[in-house]
Amino acid sequence: MPLTTLPDELQVPVELQEAWNAHPDIVKLGDPVLRQVAQPVTRVNAATQDLIRRMTRAMREANGLGLAAPQVGVSLRVIMYDTGEGLRVLINPKIIAMQGEQTDPPEGCLSIPGLQGIVKRAREIRVKAFDERMRPVTRRATGLEARVIQHEVDHIDGILFIDRAEPDTLHWITDAEEEASDATRE
């Protein structure tokens, strides 16, 4: 797969090729769908429910904290995450307020397995969205939850964490290192 968006020094190391093939239902860097601005959902129907089920399965199988629809190849504004308080689905999410700053933990992305980096994010956000039954919700999130929402909302705008990471901090880690690391997988 051509990785034209990565600089030479960040080409996927041979020892990570296996990790890149491990979850074929998750789209990897190099697929143009990850760079598209996704379309809003106009109504929730059987296809949307099916998409949500597919995303949930993919996120759980890859042991991820969060996932956006483009990561399963669907250019729609649907994101989900579970930071330990159960699954939350946000449709057409819009971040309406941001405050403060956080730089920890490092971020990783299920679409770029094995790469980590430091990304500066707002510490606290307010997000407006619809839930999986298209009921409007407004949510205040802080810390890790705020970080994951910002990462996933970036995905539906075609933005990846490598675009926002402090360039000197981007580095590849092996599977074993990843298990020991507190970096996010989303």
Q: How far is the CB of 90 from Zn ion (least distance, A)?
A: 15
Q: How far is the CB of 45 from Zn ion (least distance, A)?
A: 26
- Which one of the spans 54-62, 73-81, 117-125, 178-186 is the region binding Zn ion (CB under 5 A)? 178-186
Tokens of 178: 């990843």
State the Rg of the chain over Cα.
16
Give backbone dihedrals phi and psi of 2, rounded to 5 degrees, phi first. Answer: -75, 130
Measured distance CA(77)–CA(92) in Å, rounded? 5
Closer by beta carbon to Zn ion, 91 or else 107: 107
Q: How far is the CB of 86 from Zn ion (least distance, A)?
A: 20
Residue 118 is given by DSSP the state -
Phi-psi region of 86 (alpha: psi -120 to 50; beta: other; left: phi over 0): left
Closer by beta carbon to Zn ion, 44 or else 111: 111
CB-closest chain residue to Zn ion: 109
User: Which residue in 83, 88, 183 sits closest to 127, CA to CA?
Assistant: 88
Among 12, 74, 109, 148, binds Zn ion (CB under 5 A): 109
Closer by beta carbon to Zn ion, 101 or else 163: 163
Measured distance CA(96)–CA(128) in Å, rounded? 7
Sheet containing strand 66-68, edge to edge, reads 66-68, 78-81, 88-99, 124-130, 136-142
101 catalytic per annotation? no
Contact by Cβ (8 Å): 118, 105:
no
- Based on the shown chain and the rule CB under 5 A, indicate whether residue 162 belongs to the binding site for Zn ion: no
Closer by beta carbon to Zn ion, 5 or else 134: 5
Q: How big is the site for Zn ion, counted in residues (CB under 5 A)?
A: 2
Q: How far is the CB of 93 from Zn ion (least distance, A)?
A: 15
- Which one of the spans 10-18, 48-56, 103-111, 120-128 is the region binding Zn ion (CB under 5 A)? 103-111
Residue 134, judged by CB atoms within 10 A of its CB (0-12, 13-18, 19+), counts as middle
- Residue of 107, 145, 152, 186 marked catalytic: 152
As annotated, the active-site residues are: 152
Residues of this chain that interact with Zn ion (CB under 5 A) are 109, 186
